[in-house]
Structure 1
Amino acid sequence: MTNVRQRTPTKVRHVLGISGGKDSSALAVHMRGKVPDMEYFFCDTGAELPETYDYLNRLEAALGKPIARLNASRDFDHWLQVYQGTLPSASMRWCTKNLKIKPLEDWLGNDQAVSYVAIRADENRLGYVSTKPNIKAVFPFREEGIDRDGVSAILDESGIGLPAYYEWRTRSGCYFCFFQRKHEWVGLADRHPELFERAIEYEDKVKYASTAMQGRQYTWSQGESLRDLLARRDEIEQRHQAALSRAANRPRRNLPLIDVLADAHDDENDEAGCAVCHL
């Protein structure tokens, strides 16, 4: 009789990334209990808003499970040195690659995994989908027809609500994220002046280095330094208030502030945010 060696079946990991934004947080709550061995993770760049960290603590308590913090030993400053002081930008997103995607894929290794992605039924985008063959993406909100209103209902009914930064900013991400709109930079200066000054310090270091090497001068906000941006705060505020009025007066049902803000920022015609960070 021939002995046949039995292979131990590989356990499939179920993982759900939380960005600190409303959609991924709502998905985490929505999946609570549906997948008992779900693993939650957050890619921590070391440069998140204080409101994001506070919200993660609240969410962790509601989930009754820890949220793994990835990136503990490799923060933004480390990678800034690796890239010789070049600030990330929309055309060179080394922050997304090294602070979001790489830590996740390192954490999973070669394990078979199902990644739950928080793309809503009313969105026409993909978010981050790994190209590694061992990671399969699924989209519960799309499959169940859950849209923006559904996400709001999940967060309201759970008692978690929205992160505090939604009072002035429509997405999660680093405090110096280059995808921020002009008005959001003003909001950062008003609410977290120490972080705004730290962002200026990054610009100053890069400006000094690039001037010495006669290279391109990088800034966080397209086309101007943060000092120049803040000098135009009255103009930026006026444009933003006008956009808010247009968004609020559109012939639709009453919208919550977060949605009016999102529409107003769209009116300001700034580039859409990173699909990895802003779920």
Structure 2
Amino acid sequence: MADKEKHVLGLSGGRDSAALAVYMRQHHPDIDIEYFFTDTGKELPEVYEYLGRLEGFLGKTIHKLNPDRDFDFWLKQYNDFLPSAQTRWCTRQLKLRPFEQWVRPMLNDGMTIYSYVAIRGDEEYREGYSSKDDNLIIKLPFKDVGIDKAGVLDILEGAGLGLPKYYEWRTRSGCTFCFYQQKIEWVRLMDRHPDAFEEAKAYEKSAVEQGSPFTWSQGESLEELSKPDRIQQIKDDHEQRLLRQKKNLQQNPLRSDSEPLDIDDLYGKAKGCLACHK
């Protein structure tokens, strides 16, 4: 029965999930999809701005899921250890847990939930969205029809949305202090959102004093990273990478404009957390 089905699509504030929302609206208008965003309270302001524009295009409110406990609470629960690639408690507690709490009563009531995930046709299906419940069914529309990164960009341009503004300086959505950021992204966060950078630095200083083995950026503290000589070194390294990448980039004659470079194109693909970075 229809009332025993629910269709949901999680938005991260990133391009792929936004493009999937547009695609489903355009190609499957008969499916009543509920769009949701899990708000950690530590997101970039550009994320909220983009979600607002996306709401306008979809003509539907994006349902906000808020964690029942904030970052500070969970930091204490994990003995002041910062989240890291080895211990991704932030994704587990601030992104996945609120989603599970939202859908669990519906699943318990016998409802079948279809969750649409923006894994592209040019990506491997990665772990993180595997369902442990037979009534929670994962759907991969982009994978099914072969839409790749270029296709995602076309969808967003065609809808008049374009990319979120933070793509001018950063690849990742999610928290301002995401540990998957490259060092150049930390430098740019310091330039564009100094208050958020200082907050991240304060969290790091306190955590290290409490014995945390992790810093936000691998191999150095934000205090060290923010020294003028180090900033210049990071910027110089980034420019060299950019020049090498542009030199090696194959132009696609079928596209009138060259594909924008991602930070990941320069530094190698980071696994990331799908709930944040899609």
TM-score, normalized by length of structure 1?
Answer: 0.89
Cα pair distance change 1:38/1:127, threshold 3 Å: farther
Which residue does 1:184 correspond to in 2?
A: 185
CA distance in 1: counterparts of 2:74 and 2:56, whole angstroms: 31
Match of 1:276 in 2: 275
Partner of 1:235: 233
Letter in 1 for 2:25: R
Aligned to 1:124: 124
Say if 1:30 and 1:204 are closer, same or farther in 2 by CA, change over 3 A: same
Q: Name which of structure 1's ranges 76-85 and 142-151 shifts more when overlaid on structure 2.
A: 76-85
Partner SS state of residue 128, structure 2: coil
**Residue 23 (structure 1) aligned to one of 4, 13, 16:** 16
Number of paired residues? 264
Deviations 1:107-165 (A, max 9, x none): 11113211101011111233532323221111101111111111001100101111110
- Aligned-partner SS, 2:51: helix
| Aligned residue in 2 for 1:265 | 267
Whether the aligned pair in 1 keeps the contact of 2:70 and 2:94 (CA below 8 Å) is yes
Query: Who is 1:105 aligned against?
Result: 100
Structure 1 residues 48 and 115, CA, compared in 2 at 3 Å: closer, same or farther? same
Distance 1:80 1:258, change over 3 A: farther
Distance 2:195 2:19 in 1: 30
2:7 counterpart letter in structure 1: H
The answer (yes or no) to whether the contact 2:120–2:149 under 8 Å persists in 1 is yes
- Correspondence for 1:219: 215
**Mapped contact 1:48–1:174 kept (Cα < 8 A):** yes
User: Where has structure 1 moved over 3 Å in runs of 4 or more?
Assistant: 254-258
Counterpart AA for 2:94 = L
Partner in structure 2 of residue 88 of structure 1? 83
Moved more, 130-139 or 14-23: 130-139
CA distance in 1, matches of 2:2, 2:171: 43
Percentage of identical aligned residues: 50
Displacement after TM superposition at 1:250 (Å):
1.0
How much is the aligned-residue C-alpha RMSD, in angstroms? 1.9
Change (3 A) 1:92 1:251: closer
* 1:63-83 superposed Cα distances (whole Å, 9 cap, x missing partner): 111111112543222222222
CA distance in 1, matches of 2:13, 2:127: 15
Q: What does residue 195 of structure 2 align with? A: 194
Q: CA deviation at 1:264?
A: 1.4
1:160 alignment partner, SS class: coil
Residue type of the alignment partner of 2:169 = W
CA contact (8 A) 1:207 1:217 kept: yes
What 5-or-longer segments of structure 2 have no aligned partner?
none
Check the 8 A contact 1:240/1:265 in 2, yes or no: no
- Distance change (3 Å), C-alpha of 1:122 and 1:30: same
Query: Unmatched 5+ residue regions in structure 1?
Result: 1-7, 211-215
Deviates more, 1:180-189 or 1:255-264: 255-264
Name the larger-Rg structure.
1
In 2, Cα distance between equivalents of 1:78 and 1:260 = 33
